[in-house]
Each structure stands twice: as structure tokens, then as C-alpha cells.
Chain A
Amino acid sequence: MHRTAVKKVVRENVLDANDTLARANRDLFDRAGTYTINMMSSPGAGKTALLERTLERLRGQLRLGVLEGDVQTTLDADRLARFHIPLVQVNTDPGFGGECHLDANMVRSGLGELPLEDIDVLIIENVGNLVCPAEFRVGEDVRVMVYSITEGEEKPLKYPLMFRSADLVLVNKVDLLEHLDFDLEQFLGNLDAVNPGVRTILTSARTGQGVDEWCDWLGQRLENV
């Protein structure tokens, strides 16, 4: 007997489930008065090092918390443990082969361990990856991208998804400018081409350059909440 097929129109957004959970996370953050930053970059761009500088600078002024996303290990969380702030590690490995990004549900799974009421600013350090994290909202107020000058000038054009979604780009490792052929003007031009007018701050987690400016930027955002 021949079976016939029927067509059913669905028109359902693939990321609806994630976006719904992201909104639920955002409600939790808003109710607790927690401002949330989704920090994204390639592996090795210096997210954790900049985070250490940031915590050193803002400790005592703001109550900070960190949610660390990594495919495996607690190495990053171990580095931040000395600050004695609320810190939770979410390993994405239990997923299928280890997810390359945090999604709203993974973030939610870590929130139970964080006292949101006692956290003014929650920094979510996403998995190091230049593509995937950009696709998944997690309930953040703002997206901050860390880009290191060792990655070359052309990456905004090759990976526009993430560069387009960033509210701020911290251009890191600028202490190496004199040692590299990196053309800063060309990079900033490429960045502006995919995300016109996006704010940038030159930073060095090594020397501390730009950390004050970045913290001031954050302070201004908090005032306007």
C-alpha cells in the first residue's frame, strides 16, 4: 500500500525555546537588581585575564559575581577563586560532545548557586568561540566582546555574527602593538563596517591599560539602568 505524505505548515523559530528561557533569566536578573554582562571572545583573547583586572579594580565598589562557562575543566574558575566572590562554573561537556557556547538553559542551571540578590553585576564568561555564542541570548543586559590584536585585522569580516551583536569591543593585548604587524586602523575600519559606531576601548590585561576606561563605561551603564 502506498502511503501519501501531507504537508503541515509550522513556521516556528528554531531559537524560540532559547529566547523564551533567556527572557525568563532576564526577569530573574531584573527582579534581583543584577546587571548582567555576556562576555564573549575567541579562546585565548584574554577574557579571564581582563576579568581578573576588572575584579581587582571594582572590588569594594560593586558586588560582583561570575558565571564561568567552559567545555571542560575548572581552570578559569580556579584563577578567580582568590577574589572570594560568588562564582559558579558551568561545564558544557555533559551536552553532546561538549557545547561550544552557553545557552539560556545552561546559564539557568548555574543560577541556583548564585545569590543574585547580593550581586550588582554578574559577568558571564562565555565559552571561547568566535561564532556560536553570538547565536544564543542568555538573558544578558549587554554583550561585551574581547578581541585580541594577535587575531589579525580581518576577523570582523569573517565572523560578523558576533562582532555585529557586541555592544562594546575591548581590543586587548595592545601592549603587543609595537611587536606585531597588526594594523589597528584597518581592524577598527573592519569592525565599524560590520557594526557601525560600536564603542571600542583599547586594553591590556598585562599592563592594566584601558581597565579604568572599561570600568567607567560599565559604571555609566549602571547609572542608566
Chain B
Amino acid sequence: MHELSIAESVVRIASRQADGRRVTKVQMKVGYLRQVVPSALTFGFGLLAEGTPVEGAELEMEQIPAEGRCRLCGVESRLGSFPLQCEECGGFDLEILKGEELMVESLELEEA
């Protein structure tokens, strides 16, 4: 369950960025290729936020679908499932453009 380590890191980032204020919402971007289970991340986040400025905050995850550019035909396509494959020519040699995000995008902070 790598979600727990990820949650720990998210709480740490949010606590530091809060500058002493209370965090009410954490917005994340999570790429499809990260294999993150949202419910597991939410569970870990809630648990680890206790006793920090992030306690009680809502965790919002924007799922980013995978997209890639084919190195054979140059076409960019949505990569909906494995095997990752170019929609145009069926090629497997792809440059991943999106889907590897794992980022704390923004916070909502209570005004002091």
C-alpha cells in the first residue's frame, strides 16, 4: 500500500505550505499510470492528518488520463488501458505526455 507513504508526503507538504493556517481542502492531481487507489489514499490521508493543520481537510483528487506521443507515427493519443498503444498505428513505443502526475496542486486555507 504505497498510498500510505504518499498520504504522509501529502500531509507534510500541506502542513508546511499552510503557514500556520488551518487547511480545509487539499487538491491533488493523480495520473492514471501511478496506480493509486483513491479510497486508500483518502483513508491514509484522514488518519495521518490528525493532530496537524490538515486535520479534517477534504482531499480532492483530479484523475489525469494517460496520453502519449507515438515515436513511430508522431500521433498523440489517449492511452486508456494496457498495453499502452498508439490509437493511430498500434505502435507501442510511446513518449508519455500525461498520466504520471502525482502532485499537490493547491490548498484551501482558512483565513486567519
Contacts and interface: CB of A to CB of B under 8 A. Distances in A.
Instruction: Identify whether the interface residues of B are mostly helix, strand, loop, or mixed.
Output: mixed
Given A10-B105, A12-B103, A161-B35, A97 B4 contact: yes
Contacts, number: 99
A194 B33 contact: no
B84 A101 contact: no
Interface stretch (A30-38, A118-126, A130-138, A211-219): A130-138
Interface in B1-40: 1-2, 4-6, 8-10, 12-14, 17, 24-25, 28, 33-35
Contacts of A6: 108-109, 111
Interface residues of B, number: 35
B83 interface: yes
A96 B8 contact: yes
Contact of A17 (B12, B35, B93, B102): B12
A225 interface: no
Contacts of B25: 5
Contacts of B93: 196
Interface string A154-171: 000101110010000000
B35 A10 contact: no
A196 B10 contact: no
Interface string A167-206: 0000000000000000000000010111010000000000
Contact of B107 (A7, A135, A157): A7
Interface of A: 3-15, 17-18, 96-97, 99-101, 103, 131-132, 135-136, 157, 159-161, 164, 190, 192-194, 196
8 contacts: A11-B103, A96-B48, A135-B5, A157-B83, A160-B84, A161-B35, A194-B82, A196-B93
Interface of B: 1-2, 4-6, 8-10, 12-14, 17, 24-25, 28, 33-35, 48, 82-85, 92-93, 102-111
